[in-house]
Amino acid sequence: RTALALREATAAGGWTLLDHPMLVLDVAGTPAFLEPDAVVVHPDGGWTVVEIKSFPMIDGSADAAKVGGAARQSAVYALALERVAARMDPAPPVRHHVLLVCPKDFSNLPTASAVDVRKQLSVTRRQLARLTRVEDIAAELPEGTTFDVRRPAAELTAAVESVPATYAPECLAACELAFHCRARARQAGEVTSLGRAIRGELGGLTSIGDVLAAARGEAGDPDDPAVATLRRAAGLRREALAGVGSPGGGATLQDVLTEEGQPCR
């Protein structure tokens, strides 16, 4: 129905505001239903996403982090609109500036600003293109796997554990499975449990065992910058501990730094 309303409004050649239109975006082969606050159809046939937020715009500017979040959200809507436009001939242009509407200076009056979402659009496009399709993930699962929450706990746990997970501390704020995945990651000694930034810096070293072996000089390519850095850090740690262990020092730095094989947090 939204596609039909957009088609009619575009053909009419005037200003039209669609209030909470429903859009669909294909995410890894699964339809995701989206509802922007509004979409404006311009007399020239262009479409603009309107996003209404409750954070204030003070003297024409708002909290950068909140504006960034609104821009990322609006970019997804713009992408869904582009998919609708692509099915029309000629395809109407979807504007890459969205209209952000906020309260003006803590008042009840609205104010608006155009936000450029070109960067967020290209990031979202890239992320969507890289997502593994749900069918491909499902094809890897053992026959008969189900995530039906009415199944016995042991069966459900086994089903969840049959799917690989890449836990990171950021999951704690966003996913209900975070505690489960954290326990799995710690048990497996995965470096992602220390955070995505650390995971990125460690390159090909994916387990805490690999990291410790590289730091001790037992494994790893010495020309690998990550391995070289770990060895240098391990040397500095040894020197620090030797200093602490000398007369007058305490022997507690090891407790503070790390236990063997265990991350600090």
Contact residues: ligand SF4, CB under 6 A: 165-167, 171, 175, 177-178, 181
Q: Give every CB contact of residue 62 below 8 A, 6+ residues apart in sequence.
A: 53, 55, 56, 100, 102, 113
Q: How far is the CB of 166 from ligand SF4 (least distance, A)?
A: 5
d(CA 9, CA 84): 14
User: Taking a C-beta distance cutoff of 8 angstroms, is the pair 48, 116 a contact?
Assistant: no
Q: Give the total residue count for the chain.
A: 265
Least separation in angstroms between residue 258's CB and ligand SF4 is: 24
Q: How far is the CB of 185 from ligand SF4 (least distance, A)?
A: 8
Spell out the residues 6+ positions from residue 5 whose beta carbon is closer than 8 angstroms to its own.
18, 21
Looking at the Cβ atoms of 51 and 190, the one nearer to ligand SF4 is 190
Nearest to 100 by CA among 75, 121, 82, 125: 75
CB of 85 to ligand SF4, least distance (A): 32
- In the chain, what is the straight-line distance between the N-terminal and C-terminal CA atoms, in Å? 51
Question: Considering beta carbons, is residue 139 or 174 the nearer one to ligand SF4?
Answer: 174
Q: Which helix (H) or strand (E) holds 116?
A: strand 110-116
* 227 closest CA partner among 201, 264, 261: 201
- For residue 92, the one-letter residue type is P
Contact criterion met (CB below 8 Å) for 94 and 81 = yes
Residue closer to ligand SF4 (CB basis): 178 or 219: 178
Question: Nearest distance from residue 172's CB to ligand SF4, in Å?
Answer: 8
Per DSSP bridges, beta strands 30-34 and 23-27 are: antiparallel
Q: How far is the CB of 155 from ligand SF4 (least distance, A)?
A: 18
Closest approach, Cβ 162 to ligand SF4, in A, equals: 13
In this complex, which beta carbon is closest to ligand SF4, that of residue 77 or of residue 167?
A: 167
Of 18 and 160, the one with the shorter C-beta distance to ligand SF4 is 160
Closer to ligand SF4 at the Cβ: 27 or 178? 178
Least separation, in Å, of the C-beta of 134 and ligand SF4? 14
| Smaller CB separation from ligand SF4, 66 or 184 | 184
| CA atoms in the 13 A half-sphere facing the CB of 252 | 3
**For ligand SF4, which is the closer residue by CB, 50 or 165?**
165
Q: Enumerate residues 6+ apart whose C-beta is below 8 A from 184.
A: 161, 165, 167
Assess whether the previous peptide bond of 90 is cis (omega < 30° from 0): yes
